[in-house]
Amino acid sequence: TAKDTEKLVTWFVERGYKIKGSISSHFHSDSTGGIEWLNSRSIPTYASELTNELLKKDGKVQATNSFSGVNYWLVKNKIEVFYPGPGHTPDNVVVWLPERKILFGGCFIKPYGLGNLGDANIEAWPKSAKLLK
């Protein structure tokens, strides 16, 4: 939500970090709920073209920047966005930080159960997940 996003941004700023942007991993509100607040503060927001299309279809605020394709380097050799295919949602992406060897899987990677399956592609999800190796 906007309120949660504001709290999170404040937490980072109070610790001396500069917010350079936000990537939404899929169109559900748990990933995109803060886009409007971020946009209003001129903080760059990023989402896949498909995510922005789904947001537009639902009458929601879209990210100011979009990307397409399977791989997208937001910052060359530092922040890679990867679309493995449908899973939790048709548009879910993951974010890889190669220097730190950190993969942010968002709702595509679930530790306890599958969660909200309303927009999931259960058949494709395991095949998409195998591409993360």
Note if 121 is an active site residue. Answer: no
Residue 52 annotated among the catalytic residues of the structure: no
What is the C-alpha to C-alpha distance for residues 25 and 46, in angstroms, rounded to an integer? 9
Q: Catalytic pick from 28, 52, 91, 92?
A: 28
| Catalytic residue from among 30, 39, 119, 121 | 30
The question of whether 92 is a catalytic residue gets the answer: no
Cβ proximity of 94 and 128 under 8 Å: no
Active-site residue flag, 30: yes
Query: Is-catalytic flag, 88?
Result: yes
Find the catalytic residue in 26, 52, 91, 92.
26
As given in the structure block, the two tokens for residue 61 are: 């605020």
Catalytic residue among 4, 58, 71, 116: 116
Cβ–Cβ under 8 Å, residues 96 and 127: no
Active centre residues (catalytic): 26, 28, 30, 88, 116
